[in-house]
């Protein structure tokens, strides 16, 4: 490990008492972030009252929802808001689950520009799917009263994919809360899954990705090897003339990132994208004072190849962003449900800001 580096370690309950004296004797500074990790996991996945979690008319947007619940919610909206919502599938996952997308917007004209939003590329980042659901709720509830929302839904379509990595997300609820990848099988290494954000055909498996199937950043045997990535890439290619913005939601780091991820270079429309990012993080901060860093992903976060954001930009979508939502490491992937509302509220301001910036036709 590099001197001065920080490591995030999960320790079994029965070894904690013996580990702490060792750290103290070795003069290794440490901080206990979550004293009982298993309890924190059970707080999020444990059984709640049937009504609290599953009643669709009174759907609770301030708790995390399983894949089954999210899909039931999507079907409900498709039936209930048929004037603004159209639900469809872009394909099937490795394990055969449908890859559902909601098309949101007023059918005011035959051709409209569009914004693509996806959440849950990485299974353990539960705040992502929570935000996608929050965005849809806000759009439907404020369409009549908020002039900005009315403008957005009248002039644009939004394609919203609440759970990109459906197999991995389901696995994170049922077996391993910290699972990241898809669930495809690798027979040679007996490891499951590919990093769905390293599997895109843009500098595939270069820096920041791994060729080893057991690694969390495994890029896969070839670009678009994962049916989830292939299906979404096919849809985006087919609609690339219509889709003007690509927004992907991750956690955690409190950052708003734009291309490039795979190299240190300035994108051609830097001024427009930088301006949109600057205004978005300021709008976000206005809610609760939470500060987001923003900039090119390579220099702001780290270099990574084969990302969906870079692929979208390279395929002609001029506004491509990746959000890294709350927090900066205290709770990490286990962001408490009490922080869903503030996180989604502030992120909503940023997304609306980017969308309105897009409609101003910055060149």
For every residue of 15-65, DSSP letters joined together read GHHHHHHHHHHTT-----S-S-HHHHHHHHHS---HHHHH-STT--TTS--
Query: Domain for residue 237, yes or no?
Result: yes
Give dist(CA 146, CA 121) in Å, integer. 30
Please give the C-alpha separations between residue 232 and each of 21, 228, 246, 254, in angstroms, as whole numbers. 50, 6, 12, 26
- Could you list the pLDDT tens digit for every one of the 363 residues in the chain? 334 444 566 666 565 556 556 555 666 665 655 656 666 666 676 655 444 555 567 899 999 999 999 999 999 999 999 999 999 999 999 999 999 999 999 998 878 999 999 999 999 999 999 999 999 999 999 999 999 999 999 999 999 999 999 999 999 999 999 999 999 998 888 899 999 999 999 999 999 999 999 999 999 999 999 999 999 999 999 999 999 999 999 999 999 999 999 999 999 999 999 999 999 999 999 999 999 999 999 999 999 999 999 999 999 999 999 999 999 999 999 999 999 999 999 999 999 999 999 998 775
Residue 33 in domain: no
Which positions ≥6 away from 11 have C-beta within 8 Å?
A: 19
Q: Within its chain, how far is the Cα of 71 from the centroid? A: 17
Number of H helices, E strands in the chain: 12, 10
Written as one string, the DSSP assignment of 180-214 is -S---EETTTTEE---TTS-SSSSTTSTT-BS-TT
**Whole-number Å distance between alpha carbons of 280 and 349:** 7
Residue 119 counted as domain residue = yes
Inter-residue contact 321 to 284 (CB < 8 Å): no
| Termini Cα distance of the chain | 45
| C-alpha 311 chain-centroid distance | 16
Closest CA to 249 of 175, 325, 300, 177: 325
In the chain, the number of structural domains is: 1
Q: Is residue 36 part of a domain?
A: no
Q: What is the CATH number of the domain that holds 328?
A: 3.40.630.10
Q: Which helix (H) or strand (E) holds 209?
A: none
Task: Read off the pTM.
Answer: 0.90
- Whether residue 121 is contained in a domain is answered as yes
Among 69, 138, 224, 324, the active-site one is 324
Residue owning tokens 């992903």: 297
Q: Residue 35 has what pLDDT? A: 59
CA torsion 262-265-271-276 (nearest 10°) is: 20
Residue at 133 is within a domain? yes
d(CA 212, CA 199): 13
Q: What is the pLDDT of residue 21?
A: 60
> Are 72 and 54 contacting, i.e. CB atoms less than 8 angstroms apart?
yes
* Domain membership of residue 331 as a residue range: 67-359
In a domain, 48, yes or no: no
Is 324 marked active-site?
A: yes
Any domain includes 23: no
């Amino acid at each position: 490990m590099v001197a001065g580096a920080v490591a995030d370690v999960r320790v079994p309950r029965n070894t904690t008492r013996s580990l702490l004296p060792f750290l103290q004797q070795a003069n290794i500074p440490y901080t206990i972030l979550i004293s009982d990790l298993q309890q924190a996991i059970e707080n999020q996945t444990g059984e709640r009252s049937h009504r609290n979690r599953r009643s669709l008319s009174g759907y609770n947007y301030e708790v995390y929802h399983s894949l089954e619940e999210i899909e039931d919610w999507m079907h409900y909206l498709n039936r209930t808001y048929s004037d603004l919502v159209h639900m469809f599938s872009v394909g099937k996952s490795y394990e055969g689950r449908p890859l559902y997308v909601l098309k949101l917007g007023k059918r005011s004209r035959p051709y409209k520009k569009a914004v693509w939003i996806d959440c849950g590329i990485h299974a353990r980042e539960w705040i992502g799917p929570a935000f996608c659901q929050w965005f849809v709720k806000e759009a439907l509830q404020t369409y009549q009263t908020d002039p900005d929302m009315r403008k957005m839904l009248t002039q644009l379509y939004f394609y919203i994919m609440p759970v990109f990595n459906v197999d991995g997300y389901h696995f994170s609820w049922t077996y391993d809360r910290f699972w990241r990848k898809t669930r495809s099988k690798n027979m040679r290494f007996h490891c499951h899954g590919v990093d769905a954000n390293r599997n895109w055909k843009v500098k595939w498996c270069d820096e920041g990705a791994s060729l080893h199937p057991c690694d969390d950043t495994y890029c896969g045997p070839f670009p678009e090897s994962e049916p989830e990535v292939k299906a979404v890439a096919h849809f985006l290619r087919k609609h690339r003339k219509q889709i003007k913005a690509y927004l992907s939601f991750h956690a955690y780091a409190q950052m708003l990132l734009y291309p490039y991820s795979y190299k240190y270079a300035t994108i051609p429309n830097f001024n427009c994208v930088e301006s949109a990012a600057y205004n978005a993080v300021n709008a976000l901060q206005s809610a609760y004072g939470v500060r987001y860093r923003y900039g090119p992903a390579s220099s702001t976060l780290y270099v990574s190849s084969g990302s969906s954001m870079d692929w979208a930009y390279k395929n002609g979508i001029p506004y491509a962003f990746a959000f890294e939502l709350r927090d900066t490491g205290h709770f990490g992937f286990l962001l408490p449900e009490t922080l869903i509302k503030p996180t989604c509220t502030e992120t909503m301001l940023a997304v609306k800001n980017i969308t309105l910036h897009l409609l101003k036709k910055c060149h």
